[in-house]
Amino acid sequence: MRVLFLATNYSIGSNMSGIGLRIWELSQVLSAHFEVTILSNNFIDITHPGITCRLFDENTWKGEINKADTIICYDLPDPRLLLYANSINKQIITENAIPLEHLDYHSIKNSNNPNDYYRNILTNFKLQLLLSDFFITRARIEETTLISALALLDRVNYSTYTKNNQLSSMITYIPIGFNLFSDKHKEQCHTYSKSADFIWNGGIWDYYQTNILPETIHNLKLEGEESSLLFMYSPPDNQIIDEFSTMLSNIKKYNIEDKIYFPPHPIKHFERDSVLKKTHALICIGRDTIENYTCHRLRLRDVFLYEKPIIIDDFGATAELVRKLNIGITINNKEELLKAMIKLKRDSEFYNSLVDNIRKVREHFIINHHTLKLVNYIKSQQRAPDINSEVRKNNIEEILKKFPILKEQPTYPF
């Protein structure tokens, strides 16, 4: 059987992170059971047995779908591909969450009509939910929001409910984590010259609070605690990130250019292991936005893979998980951030207790342990229980009638 991953614009290969890395790790696991192909808008420069990588081409994408038994898609898929796959009765599986972080994207905030722009993204998501047979969630809170969305689209009804009253015929859970290949590889890592006491292992976006770090690093020095910070990723060069500009000004203001580092070039995937193994702890502090309450951050992967405590904001689902498992420190402001960084540096007993807690739960976050249900569903080649319902068909037709742009070649400005 053949499984086709639609990677769209997510980078997979030397420079992958986030969703791109998630796609790659799941495709590695599934390659033990199926022939796997990844269709990407970008060239993929790494290989794995059982995985074929294809560059998206307007003239050949239908052929790739024709050859596949199952399609797996993620955030902002090309709706034309899903519509075509559905029309020829291909099994469609989605891993996605309600697109809330997009509200902070430069392309939306600076568009002529942000509400219309965002509505197009949200409509794409609705169509994806209507066309999919099965769903992968990355956190229990995502299950809740997904079920709510499916109910509002009439996909949870008497027929689907009586099919399985836990809705497990349509949903599976694969937590944010790592696979066994990554676990093995981290012990064979390439060397990279630069690491730091603390690593910001997320991106730099306006929904994060990176600008409080320069003052904190400065205050650590005043407390007699010299500490360095490395940002794993610089912001994309096709967007204007206000948060980044503010942070650069603060670095200059506090004269700590020698304490906060940005990689001179993107850190390669196979160099990440060396960088993250050397660091003391991770930091990823978001703002109190609605998106924080609907998902777990992908950056948790590094906590479990590398056994590193994390300092994170005290808002939403990720903070709840960190508190529940006691694998880091949650903070509300820069004063608490300073105290947290000092505690992790000076209190070795406390630090080691966090590492021990990570080790106790680490096994749960190995994604190989959570794919059996997905594998069995793909092998069954079932479609959704409401695949032929008039309600579902009418909802799809109504969306396409109202938003005919979904039938056209999309752009990916993000």
For residues 74 and 208, membership in a common domain is answered with no
So what's the pLDDT on residue 414? 45
Q: Tell me: the pLDDT tens digits for 140-195?
A: 999 999 999 999 999 987 777 776 655 678 899 999 999 999 999 888 776 666 78
Residue 231 belongs to domain with CATH number: 3.40.50.2000
How many domains is the chain built from? 2
How far, in Å, CA of 255 to CA of 260, rounded?
10
Question: What domain range includes position 349?
Answer: 181-365
Identify whether residues 70 and 113 lie together within a single domain. Answer: yes
90/168 same-domain check: yes
Residue 262 has pLDDT above 90, yes or no: no
Question: What CATH number does residue 170 fall under?
Answer: 3.40.50
What pLDDT, in 10s, does the model give residues 50-61? 999 999 999 999
Computed over every residue of the chain, the mean pLDDT equals 92
For residues 186 and 135, membership in a common domain is answered with no
Residue 361 shares a structural domain with residue 400: no
Q: DSSP string spanning 387-404?
A: TT-HHHHHHHHHHHHH-G
Q: Report percent pLDDT > 70 for the chain.
A: 96
Same domain assignment for residues 286 and 332: yes
Q: Output the six-digit token pair for 208.
A: 């994060």
pLDDT at residue 109, as a whole number: 83
Q: Is the dihedral of CA 341, 343, 348, 354 positive or negative?
A: negative
Local structure of residue 369 (DSSP, 8 states): G
* Cα 169 from Cα 147, distance rounded (Å): 12
Per-residue model confidence (pLDDT) at position 142: 94
Contacts of 345 (CB under 8 A, 6+ apart): 197, 225, 227, 280
* Residue 252: pLDDT band with limits 50, 70, 90: very high
Report the alpha-carbon distance of residue 124 to residue 400 in Å, rounded.
Answer: 10
Q: Does residue 290 share a domain with residue 198?
A: yes
User: Are 201 and 325 spatial neighbours (Cβ–Cβ below 8 Å)?
Assistant: no
pTM: 0.94
Q: Are strands 70-73 and 198-200 parallel, antiparallel or unpaired?
A: unpaired
How far, in Å, are 165, 307, 311, 341 from residue 354 at the CA level?
Answer: 38, 9, 11, 14
d(CA 393, CA 378): 23
Residue 135 tokens, joined: 């769903």
Environment class of 85 (CB within 10 Å of its CB; exposed 0-12, middle 13-18, buried 19+): buried
Contact by Cβ (8 Å): 194, 275: yes
Q: In this predicted model, what pLDDT tens digit does every residue of 347-405 receive, in sequence order?
A: 999 999 999 999 999 999 999 999 999 999 999 999 998 888 999 999 999 999 999 98
**Helical H segments across 241-389, by residue range:** 242-253, 269-278, 300-306, 316-325, 334-346, 348-361, 372-380
Does 272 share its domain with 356?
yes
- Per the CB < 8 A criterion, the answer to whether 300 and 325 are in contact is no
Residue 353 belongs to a domain = yes
What confidence tens digit (pLDDT) does each residue in 65-121 have? 999 999 999 998 999 999 999 999 999 999 999 999 888 887 888 889 999 989 999
Cβ-contact 22, 298 below 8 angstroms: yes
What six digits make up the tokens of 274? 């060396």
pLDDT of residue 161: 74
What percent of the chain clears pLDDT 90, i.e. is strictly above it?
Answer: 71
330-362: per-residue pLDDT in tens? Answer: 999 999 999 999 999 999 999 999 999 999 999
| Residues 353 and 279 reside in one and the same domain | yes
CA-to-CA distance for 329 and 322, rounded, in angstroms?
A: 7
> Is residue 413, in this structure, part of any structural domain at all?
no
In a domain, 343, yes or no: yes
144 domain-assigned? yes
Q: State the pLDDT at residue 411.
A: 67
Q: At residue 293, does pLDDT exceed 80?
A: yes
Provide the β-strand partners of residue 162. none
Length of the chain: 414
Residues 86 and 13 in one domain: yes
Q: Between the ranges 23-27, 110-114, 237-241, where is the mean pLDDT highest?
A: 23-27
Backbone phi, psi, residue 397, to 5°: -65, -40
Q: What is the pLDDT of residues 195-220, one digit of tens each?
A: 899 999 888 888 889 989 999 999 99
Q: How far is CA 113 from the centre of its chain?
A: 27
